[in-house]
Structure formats: C-alpha cells, structure tokens
Structure 1
C-alpha cells in the first residue's frame, strides 16, 4: 500500500463542553478514495476543517504530506467546502481566471473541459446561478487543480438526482490519480461505486475504517446497509450500557 498523505494521531477536538472528535487515529494512503460517512453532528466537518487548516486549536497531531496544516499544505490540498465561498459578482470564467492566478497547480484547460461537460454558463454572475450550478462550479474549480489531496465536504447536496452519478464520475475521472481523496457525503449509495475505503464516524469516534471489499459481502452487498447495521449496533450497545448503569444506581 502507498505511503499515507494524511496522518492523524490521537486527535481530539472539544467545543466548550461538547467533544466533536475523540481520540481519532487514521491514515489515508496515496491513490485511495475514502468516504467519510456519518450522521449530522458526528464530527465530519470538524475533521475536515482541521485538515484544511480552518481549525487550529485541538489535541493530538495532524500531518498533511508530513506537514502540519497551514500555509504550506494549502498548496497541495484542493478543498470543496459545504457552502458557497465564491464572489457573487464574478462569473464562471472570472472564477477560473482567479483560481488560475491563485493556484500554481491549476489546469485551465481541464477547467474548460469540465465546464463543457457540466454545461455551466460562463457569463452569468454567481449570484444569479441556482444552488446546484454553484456547487458544480465549485466542483470544477476543485477538480481543475493537480493537487496531492482532495477534500470534498458534501459535494452534491444541492445537485439534482440525475446529475449525482455524473458528479461522482467526474471526481473519479479528473482528480489526480496519485492523490488521496476524502469525500464526506450522506449519499452513500451514490458514492459507493467510486470509493476504495470508508470511514464510519459516530459521535466523534471511528466505528470502522476498512476497504469497501472488506465491508460489503454477499449477504450485505450495499455499503449503506453495512453503515446502518454498524450504527444500529453501536446505538444498541450504548442503550444497554446506559440501562445497566441505571440498574446499578
């Protein structure tokens, strides 16, 4: 297996009295597409914000290609956030030119190709675009970088069902083949076909981190079924512990 581009050691993040991440340990090797799966509030976005350097106060160690998240790692990490960060007055062509100027690894030829594939209007300002079109624009800007690591936070939340399969195919086709890809999504069924591995995150802890081939089976061929099964087992375990604790009192 290739050496890890992402390494997390004993990562814990607490907001006041709420622990968002608890003693997380994981490595993401080069050339793997890894799904980060879990319900709302499980810690997915917190982990992503730490990896891209937006959160800097935490316990434990985080390394991106051997460096702690910061200015140096931003040059090798392509990040697609879960909200619009583009200038609402700029059009798609101007956004491409801005990214081309800002990122040395930006491939403008590939950007133009993806614009045509996604049929994104180039002269309309961002503020006049639909939510789904804005998400597609974010996607093409992210995929047009020759990054070492791609991090996608809910890349198709506002995309219509007919376009979902196309979006995942684009990620598989255009992201640098040697890169590490971390993909946080609720749409497990749609994402399964491009994932190599999956992380199940629950209440800030990793329940499972394995290859898709090891997670699914003949009796349970769908990743979403395995995901639900693991979470139900964890919830039942917590309820039993709580019940036993109550009886002891």
Structure 2
C-alpha cells in the first residue's frame, strides 16, 4: 500500500490554487525529493499530509487514511522553521517527546545528541541556529514513524551541518517507512534520494527514480531540474 497518495488534490487560498489537481503516489522504503520553485505548492502538500490544512477538493491519503488523529501517530514532521520552545532544556525536550509520542526512541535521540556534545541541561535558546536545527531533526528522526515529512531541512545551514543532517536522515528511518524531503537545494540532497517529484504551479510534472533520470536523460537531477524550470 502507498504511504502517501494524492488523487486530483486541490488546495486554494481564496481564488488562488496552491495545488491544482495534483496526483502522486509515494511507496514505503524510499527517500523522495519533493522539488520545485518557490510557490510551487511543496509546503502546502506537506501541511496537508500532516493534517495542518484541509483539501479544497480531491483526496489525500496517508497509509490509506485521510490525515487526522490516527495518522498523526504515523507521521513525523519537520517544519521549515524551528518550532521547539526556546526555554526548554535538552532533557525537558526529550521528556516532552517521550510523553507525546509512543514511538519515540529516546536512546537513539540521546546517542545522537551526545555525538554533538549537547548537554542535557543546555536550553534551546543557548544553542546556535545550526545546532537548534540539528536537535529538531534528531527529535523528528528518532520517532519510528511510517512517513517523515521534512520541509527544507538543510535550508540556511553550513555545508558541514548539511552533511550531518543528511547522514542523520539516511541512518534513522525504517526501511518500511518513506521520507519526503522538500527542498530547492537539489545538488546537496541528490546523493540521498531514491526518487524525485517535480512540482510546478501545484501540479506534479515529473515523478521518476533518480537512477532512471541518470540513465535515460544522461544528467543529474540538479541539471534536469535546471532544464525543466529554467526562466
């Protein structure tokens, strides 16, 4: 069964369509790049899959179910902006996730935090922007979810932090789960992707495996993206 399925999905803000009869399917066991220019509908799709928005028309299913209370237990969501409370200490944050999510793997989170030399009594406010983003990603990837929705996980961080974040994603998702990474930094994430979905003006204009793009088009995903979306 597909972990995410969209059938003629429409989302409008007023009269403007953010998603325009979008159709796509994401199978378990894949890391998928959701790629498109700014304003193409990527964040809207991720928010719909996470149940933060409701469709105007059409259908979106997570593990065969409409997004809601049941799917919240199966989806782990990383928003574009850091949203963990600044006053919390690392320990309080771990306690919070453990109380809130039955699938939270605390030992795995503690191991990754120790690798970054983050103290348990350190507050989020005391951390640098890059460290906060790493901590939030560690929390998200330490859940045993079926679907990980990562909205711009490497935006605005230095190359070394990007490498750490991508390695964390690869190392911590279950093979029976799927990871969707929304980003415009394609060259940086291409190495970890199994599949890509190009979205433009609210529609899926291409869905393909990365290997097929390289074999059939004779180019990288980044090069194909530049060709498809050139001004």
Q: Specify if TM > 0.5.
A: yes
Indicate the residue corresponding to 1:212 in structure 2.
210
1:167 aligns with 2:165: yes
Q: Which moved more, 1:218-227 or 1:11-20?
A: 218-227
Indicate the residue corresponding to 1:10 in structure 2.
8
TM-score, normalization by structure 2: 0.95
1:46 aligns with 2:35: no
> Which one has more relative contact order, counting CA pairs under 8 Å at least 6 apart?
2
5+ residue gaps, structure 2, are: none
Residue in structure 2 matching 1:198, options 186, 196, 199: 196
Structure 1 residue 219, shift from structure 2 partner: 6.7
Contact preservation (8 Å) 1:80, 1:139: yes
Structure 1 residue 17, shift from structure 2 partner: 2.3
Residue in structure 1 matching 2:67, options 69, 72, 77: 69
1:110 aligns with 2:108: yes
Indicate the residue corresponding to 1:153 in structure 2.
151
User: How many correspondences in the alignment?
Assistant: 231
Indicate the structure (1 or 2) with the bigger Cα radius of gyration. Answer: 1
Deviations 1:154-192 (A, max 9, x none): 112132112212211110111112101111112211111
Contact preservation (8 Å) 2:166, 2:192: yes
CA distance in 1, matches of 2:116, 2:38: 29
- The alignment's C-alpha RMSD in Å is 1.5
Indicate the residue corresponding to 1:93 in structure 2.
91
The secondary structure found in structure 1 opposite 2:3 is strand
Deviations 1:184-211 (A, max 9, x none): 1122111111111001111111110110
5+ residue gaps, structure 1, are: 236-249
CA distance in 2, matches of 1:138, 1:58: 31
Residue in structure 2 matching 1:81, options 79, 82, 89: 79
Indicate the residue corresponding to 1:188 in structure 2.
186
